[in-house]
Structures are given as C-alpha cells and as structure tokens.
Structure 1
Amino acid sequence: MLTSVVPKLPFINKQETVNFYVNQLGFTLRSDYVDYLIMDKDGVELHFFSFPTIVPAKSDFMIYVRVDSDIESLFEKCRQGSSAVKIITRLESKPWGQKEFAIADPNGTCLTFGEAFS
C-alpha cells in the first residue's frame, strides 16, 4: 500500500540549499547526514542528496507542490525575497483549475506551486 511520495533532490552547496529552503520557503531542517538532508514544512517532506557536479542550467529535476490557500502571499514572498529566488513563471490561473507559479532553487530544481480554484 502506497502512503506518500517524498521527492529526493540534488544539492551542490549544502549551506546555500539549507538557507534557501529554510529562509526563503520556511522549511525546517530535520536531519543533516553530511551528504543527505531531510527538510519539511506543513506535512511536505523533501530529501536532498549531494551532487556537486550537477550543472543548474541543465538540471531536469522538477516537483509540483500543492498549496491549499494564499498562494498569492507565497508568490509575493518569493518575488520580494533575496536574489536567490529565481522566478521562472509568474502567478497565473491555468485552464486546469490551478493558480500556479514556478521558481528555481540554487541547484536548478524547478519548484511549481499550485492552488486549486473554482
């Protein structure tokens, strides 16, 4: 029986990755095993593994994170955050009933956030 999915994402620089997810997105660092990190926020868990040779511009890692409310505030926080937050797509309503925006983390991973609307 499947119970959940936990994305496992690469990191180049551990401290930059921790700073980005903790300071910009509000995650909590739960475990640091030198080359492996575990973070969570609001029931969403992310794992990270060391991959120092990855080229961010050529990274194909992507995840979709569902938001249950106030995606506008999350987008504004990212937009007004540090230069570490690279906006890929601005907040917009999609035909499939989601308000979405996408950012890239310091490792080139695309994070798309979506909130359902009717």
Structure 2
Amino acid sequence: MTEAIAARMTGAIPTLASLSFAETSGFYSRLGFSVLHGDLSFLLLRRDEVRLSFWLTGNRRVPQSTSCWIEVTGIDPLYRRFEALGIVHRKGHLETKPWGTREFSIVDCHGNLLRFSETGTDAVEPAEDG
C-alpha cells in the first residue's frame, strides 16, 4: 500500500478590485511594489515575496468591500513609512492584538483594505503577570 502524500499550501495571491490599473500601479509604486504583468484585464504587482493581483471593475462599491492580510517583518518602520504617506486607516493604527500579532491597516486608492501583520517574539509584547 502506498502512503498518501500530504497536501500543503505554500502561499496565496490575493485578487483585489481596481477602478483603474494606472491609478492602482501609481498608488502601489509608492509602497514599493513593481508591476510584474499588466494587460487590459489583469494586473500583477510584487514587493519582496508578496504578489497582489487586480481585476478591473466599474463598480466603486466592490473595492470598498474587499480586504486582505499581508504578513511582514519589520512592521514598525513599515507603519511609520505608511503613516507618513497618510494612508493608515483611521481605525487601523499599529497595535498588538490579543492573538499575539502586531497589526495595522491601510486603504488603497480605490478602497481596498490591506492589513499588515507581524507574528513572532519580536512582535509580541510580553504578557503581564496576574
């Protein structure tokens, strides 16, 4: 009898909505992303190990109802950079969450919410003794 090989997920590429690929490319270039591919119906961006894909929509409500998580290292300097750009969500300032991650959120030029999260011993504030 042959043993089954365990399936393992190794990554994800979120697909977000865009009202204009030119505006999306411009916004994300300010965040350090570069264009890997772009045509009339699909845009693929990359920064470090993260890829984001976009599809065109004419409905402004779609991107305002979309979000994704991006795992990072070095969240504090990233937060300071994005805060200086004025794109941190009004309720998304950097904080340590009860589940042990440090997180903040931004909103892109069309309303997509991106949540940045760092996990690990450097990201978690020590628990208080009770």
Q: Percent identity?
A: 28
User: Alpha carbon RMSD of aligned pairs, Å?
Assistant: 1.7
Please give the per-residue CA displacement for 1:72-117, whole angstroms capped at 9, x wherever unaligned: 1111111111x5x252410011111111000111121110001112
TM-score by length of 1: 0.86
Match of 2:67 in 1: 62
- Unaligned 5+ runs, structure 1: none
Residue 13 of structure 2 corresponds to residue 6 of structure 1: yes
The structure richer in strand per residue is 1
Q: Which TM-score applies when normalising by structure 2?
A: 0.78
For residues 38 and 14 of structure 1, what CA distance do their matches in structure 2 show? 10
> Aligned to 1:106, which of 100, 105, 109?
109
Q: Deviations over 1:21-60 (max 9, x none)?
A: 111x11110111123101111111111011122236x722
Could you say which structure has the larger radius of gyration? 2
Q: 2:118 is aligned with what amino acid?
A: E
Determine the C-alpha separation between the residues in 2 that align with 1:73 and 1:86: 13
Question: 1:22 & 1:4 partners in 2: Cα distance?
Answer: 22
Detail structure 1 runs of 4+ shifted over 4 Å in the superposition. Answer: none
> Do the aligned partners of residues 101 and 32 (structure 1) sit closer, same or farther apart at CA in structure 2, a change above 3 Å counting?
same
